[in-house]
Amino acid sequence: EPEVTQTPSHQVTQMGQEVILRCVPISNHLYFYWYRQILGQKVEFLVSFYNNEISEKSEIFDDQFSVERPDGSNFTLKIRSTKLEDSAMYFCASRRTADEQFFGPGTRLTVL
């Protein structure tokens, strides 16, 4: 069964450093998403991406964040200058039609 994959599973970085979180969505999916879950809190929407552009973003998704689909398979989230409060589990999701979003296993980002 096809699945969404994410790498790395755990990323530790120093405050102020740039990180890139990588996702490989399911191959025939058209809509792509990033969500995050701060420890003990709810899952929050960050951004949705369709047809090679951002379709919607939350207020969390400020200028420090960017997304890219550099080729036909990868979907990346870049945080330019990480802050302590960026520590969270980041989930990638993809969807084909007006139906469920399939989530990856997540990348745990720890900012020191």
Partner 1 sequence: AQSVTQLDSQVPVFEEAPVELRCNYSSSVSVYLFWYVQYPNQGLQLLLKYLSGSTLVESINGFEAEFNKSQTSFHLRKPSVHISDTAEYFCAVARTNTGFQKLVFGTGTRLLVSP
Part in contact with partner 1 (CB under 8 A); list of ranges 13-21, 55-63, 72-80: 55-63
User: Taking CB under 8 A as the rule, does residue 31 contact partner 1?
Assistant: yes
User: Taking CB under 8 A as the rule, does residue 2 contact partner 1?
Assistant: no
DSSP for the chain, written as a single string: ----EEE-SEEEE-TT--EEEEEE--TT--EEEEEEE-TTS-EEEEEEEETTEEEEE-TT--TTEEEE--SSS-EEEEESS--GGG-EEEEEEEESSSSPPEE---EEEEE-
User: Taking CB under 8 A as the rule, does residue 18 contact partner 1?
Assistant: no
User: Which residues bind to partner 1, rule: CB under 8 A?
Assistant: 31, 33, 35, 41-45, 48, 50, 55-56, 58, 91, 93, 95, 98-106
